[in-house]
Amino acid sequence: MAQIIQKAPGKIILFGEHAVVYGKPAIAVPIMQCYTTVTIQPLIHQHNIVQIQAPDIGLNCPLAELEPEHPFALIISMVRQLGKLHHLPAMQIHIHSRLPVAAGLGSGASVSVALAKALCAFFSIPFTDQEISDIAFEAEKQYHGTPSGIDNTVIAFERGIFFQREKPVEWLKIAQPNHILIVNSGEEKSTKGMVERVREQFNHSPQLIQPLLDQIGEIAVQARSALEIGNPPKLGSLMVQNHQLLQALGVSTPGLDRMVQLAMENGALGAKLSGAGGGGNMIILMHSATTAALTQTFAQAGYTRQIQTIIQ
């Protein structure tokens, strides 16, 4: 067996976070500039040792030391089932991600997809994007409890999607390039914690939370139309509306709110938090001509962790 290297991108949710968990539509796109790399190489003169190295999270141990429900162990087990493998040869698995953890960029799903693809390639197991997505989704349950399925889908297929649970995935048709700046707030958050927080609110006061979720879902539908006909001003306006609804859900923070305000005061078409909230990233829709100025504005305000991308 030869050395194998596989990569998987990150993702951002443009519209629909939280509401997607309750069956409403959401829009997400891959971020190809940031990715996870998994390298697998055989260990010569070793016997059935599977060594896993993930320096980003301080992990360096044999597979045997991981609990069966650990996402890495779970993925390896599912790939073994897919390939009907009776045993694992000695190998070293090295995982490195350029995606920040707990920032709304799909770091967990990116790692899961890259690891599943690398294992399948290493063992010469034929696979489809859907099979990789399904494996990653099982690992996502360990990270997030009740994931929507959006992260593993957009990352496994590497395509922008209009996503709704229990319905076939619909691929986005984007009329023109959209310039996006992703800015890290510096506030760490827990996706699982924020999802559970909304769940508790929903269970306690569904009459208050359901209308907010319905409105977020409707915004996602309108945003799809704006993307497909090429209407950036409308798209930007919908982003601001979406952020206000996420504020009402209680998943924004004063820091994220200030960042949205800063963006809008400096020529952005739209801005909102992206992901579960409670910190992490916010996203800005810009004219291409204002990209440099907005980048500098946020850097001068202390927000130096930025990613520029184009959705097309």
All residues at 6 or more sequence positions from 58 whose CB lies less than 8 Å from its CB, including other chains: none
The predicted pLDDT at position 162 comes to 95
Dist. CA 151–CA 44, nearest whole Å: 36
The predicted pLDDT at position 165 comes to 86
Dist. CA 20–CA 218, nearest whole Å: 11
- Burial class for 261, CB neighbours closer than 10 Å (0-12, 13-18, 19+): exposed
29: pLDDT strictly greater than 90 = yes
The pLDDT tens digits of the residues spanning 182-221 come to 999 988 777 778 888 999 999 999 999 999 999 999 999 9
DSSP string, 137-161: HHHHHHHHSS--SHHHHHHHHTS-E
Please report how the helices 206-229 and 191-204 are oriented relative to each other, as an axis angle in degrees rounded to 10.
130
Mean pLDDT on 157-184: 92
All residues at 6 or more sequence positions from 145 whose CB lies less than 8 Å from its CB, including other chains: 192, 195, 196
63: pLDDT strictly greater than 70 = yes
The predicted pLDDT at position 54 comes to 95
DSSP 100: P
Say whether domain 4-170 belongs to CATH 3.40.50.620. no
The predicted pLDDT at position 102 comes to 66
Q: Where in the chain is CATH 3.30.70.890? A: 173-311
The CATH class that applies to domain 173-311 reads alpha beta
76 pLDDT tier (thresholds 50, 70, 90): very high
144 pLDDT tier (thresholds 50, 70, 90): low
62: pLDDT strictly greater than 90 = yes
The per-residue pLDDT of the chain, averaged, comes to: 92
Mean pLDDT on 213-232: 97
Q: Where in the chain is CATH 3.30.230.10? A: 4-170
* Alpha carbon distances (Å) from 297 to 17, 188, 265, 304: 27, 22, 11, 10
Lowest mean pLDDT among 19-33, 37-51, 73-87, 135-149: 135-149
Rounded to the nearest 5 degrees, what angle is found at the Cα of 57, between the Cα atoms of 54 and 58?
Answer: 75
The predicted pLDDT at position 284 comes to 97
* Widest CA span in the chain: 64
The predicted pLDDT at position 179 comes to 95
Catalytically active residues, by annotation: 151
